[in-house]
Amino acid sequence: MNAHRGDTRIREPGAKAPAVVTELRGGVLMVTLNRPEALNAMNPDMTKSLRAILADAAADPDVRALLVTGAGRAFCAGGDVKMMAAQVGRRSPNEVRRKIREHTGPVILALATIEKPVVAAVNGIAYGGGFSMALACDLILAARSARFAQVFVTRGLAPDTGSSWFLPRLVGPWRARELLFRGEPLDAETAHRLGFVSRVCDDVTLIDEALELATSLAAGPTMAIGMIKTLVSQGLGSDLAAAINAEADAQAICMESEDFREGLRALREKRPPNFSGR
């Protein structure tokens, strides 16, 4: 069974629910973090599931866009603090490095690099690694109740999961230092003013608005959108000449696509295009 088709097996009473639930709605894969009793804090089951789901989604032409959200009253509280507390003094520095590099880090990297649009619907808190997970998505819609915080420093920790990479690029190095140094929560409106939240929604309409956005992206030329995503990410670390060369490569590939031919047909026939992502 493909990871993104969801877990349809009948579970015995008392069996543990899956850490991540998926549902394919048209071309949109809804990915729901499903540990509401722990505010969707990340644990090994969740990161393992997310790595498999994202790898499967990347390879599946039926998945045209993704929507990531959290079950219950939180998006993601970051790492599982209870699990971390139980492991104090039991893990070597090399084990900590391996956990980040092989478990949580690849989830963030997969979200940021998958060549399909990813929308985050942030309900409630997005703290620590949960904040980073939202930042790894292409567009963030936030409920009015949403709160964002880089809480690592409040636990005596440096950031992980890419926070020190995302934030300076989104809000500038000075504001990034303030957010990382202080670890104080930002409300949704402040996050919108800072520019990393695209839209603030009423709590009751968040999922509907996010699904509408993801569905509109899924109906677009997703091959081109994937290349745009890659170009923007690469452009942050390249000079203008390199960016123009990369754009030339992407344009040449897109001009061989069925979506390009459909776009021209639709223009000639004066109708909306019907893109297929190919």
Assess whether pLDDT exceeds 50 at residue 9. no
- What integer pLDDT is reported at residue 15 of this predicted model? 67
- Across 135-164, b (16+ Cβ under 10 Å) vs e yields bbbbbbbbbebbbbbbbbbeeeeebbbbbb
How far apart CA 142 and CA 145 sit, in angstroms, is: 8
How high is the mean pLDDT of the chain? 90
Q: CB within 8 A of 12, min separation 6: which ones? A: none
Neighbours of 68 (CB within 10 A): 27
Q: 99 pLDDT band (50/70/90 cuts)?
A: confident
- In this structure, what is the dihedral angle of CA atoms 263, 265, 267, 268, given to the nearest 10 degrees? 160
- What integer pLDDT is reported at residue 164 of this predicted model? 94
Long-range contacts of 170-179 (CB under 8 A, 24+ apart): 170/135, 170/194, 170/195, 170/196, 171/195, 171/196, 179/150
- Average pLDDT on 235-240 reads 90
**Maximum pairwise Cα distance, the chain:** 68
- Average pLDDT on 260-267 reads 95
Sketch out the chain's domains with CATH numbers.
Answer: 3-218 (3.90.226.10), 222-269 (1.10.12)
Q: 129 pLDDT band (50/70/90 cuts)?
A: very high
Assess whether pLDDT exceeds 80 at residue 31. yes
- Average pLDDT on 194-215 reads 97
Assess whether pLDDT exceeds 60 at residue 162. yes
Assess whether pLDDT exceeds 60 at residue 174. yes
Can you give the pTM of this predicted structure?
A: 0.89
Assess whether pLDDT exceeds 60 at residue 264. yes
- What integer pLDDT is reported at residue 21 of this predicted model? 97
Q: What is the 3-state secondary structure of the chain? A: CCHHHCCCCCCCCCCCCCCEEEEEECCEEEEEECCHHHCCCECHHHHHHHHHHHHHHHHCCCCCEEEEEECCCEEECCECHHHHHHCCCCCCHHHHHHHHHHHHHHHHHHHHHCCCCEEEEECCEEECHHHHHHHHCCEEEEECCCEEECHHHHHCCCCCCCHHHHHHHHHCHHHHHHHHHHCCCEEHHHHHHHCCCCEEECHHHHHHHHHHHHHHHHCCCHHHHHHHHHHHHHHCCCCHHHHHHHHHHHHHHHCCCHHHHHHHHHHHHCCCCCCCCC
Assess whether pLDDT exceeds 90 at residue 97. no
Assess whether pLDDT exceeds 90 at residue 160. no
